[in-house]
Amino acid sequence: VEFLYCDLASMKSIRQFVRQFRAKNCPLHVLVNNAGVMLVPERKTEDGFEEHFGLNYLGHFLLTNLLLDTLKQSGTHSHNARIITVSSATHYVGKLHLNDLQSRCSYSPHGAYAQSKLALVLFTYRLQHLLTANGSHVTANVVDPGVVNTELYKHVFWIVKVVKWMTAWLFFKTPEEGASTTIYAAVSPEMEGAGGCYLYNEERTKSADIAYDEELQRRLWTESCKMVGISDEASRHP
């Protein structure tokens, strides 16, 4: 196991990480997009993005696009490279505000978090569409890990923390259990060549209806390219 530092809340750090990784000239068979914050107070990343949207979504969007060439070179007809992005059931109540992705008009921690998780589902479906159109040996899927007992809940109200502490053993998954669907998506032979899936408890399931809106997927992709400073065309072609 080798560690390379990457701060998903910093576009500079992401670009630096990708340069370091590419310098190693290693193949890339699996990319898991798993970083995230939840219900944080209103604050911005160093690039000026609202933190949920900037870290949970844009950081992964940029990282994935910068690593796409390596993923495409690493995948083969019989062994596709795989991109797994971790979303949440919260995306079902999320609304994408294309005119206010930074939640500047009115900030709600719950709304901003849900929007970032919906954006990840839309991103995955659009990415798979582009990969298929290019004939790339890369698949992209999105995972709902369930309710997992981690430090992600440190910004919830104190009463929720008390309830979590008292009931976690009964209702929450352990981190190992929470990782199972991500691992399934990353290595299971059953998922070979399968892309554009929403997975929960190691099974394909239906995501929110709005996530299948191809026009919304396209518009979010285009806007995201502008925000992180990459070419929309460059992200479409090998």
First-to-last C-alpha distance (Å) of the chain: 29
Cα gap 63→153, rounded to integer Å: 25
**pTM across the whole model:** 0.87
Coil, strand or helix at 181: helix
Looking at residue 185, its pLDDT comes to 96
Looking at residue 202, its pLDDT comes to 87
Dihedral sign, Cα of residue 143, residue 147, residue 149, residue 151 = positive
In this structure, the strands spanning 138-144 and 81-86 are parallel
* Position 102, amino acid: Q
Cα gap 28→40, rounded to integer Å: 32
**φ/ψ (deg, to 5) at 145:** -75, -10
Determine contact, residues 192/80, Cβ cutoff 8 Å.
Answer: yes
**Exactly one of 92, 113, 125, 184 is catalytic; which is it?**
113
Cα gap 38→55, rounded to integer Å: 10
Cα gap 168→162, rounded to integer Å: 10
Helices and strands, counts by H and E, the chain: 7, 5
Looking at residue 146, its pLDDT comes to 64
Catalytic annotation present for 200: no
| CATH code for residues 11-228 | 3.40.50.720
Cα gap 52→58, rounded to integer Å: 9
Each residue's pLDDT, cut to its tens digit, for the chain (238 residues) gives: 899 999 999 999 999 999 999 999 999 999 999 988 877 889 999 999 999 999 999 999 999 999 999 999 999 999 999 999 999 888 999 999 999 998 888 899 889 999 999 999 999 999 999 999 999 999 999 998 865 444 544 444 445 444 444 454 445 546 666 678 999 999 999 999 999 999 999 899 999 999 999 999 999 999 999 999 998 864 544 4
Determine contact, residues 175/148, Cβ cutoff 8 Å.
Answer: yes
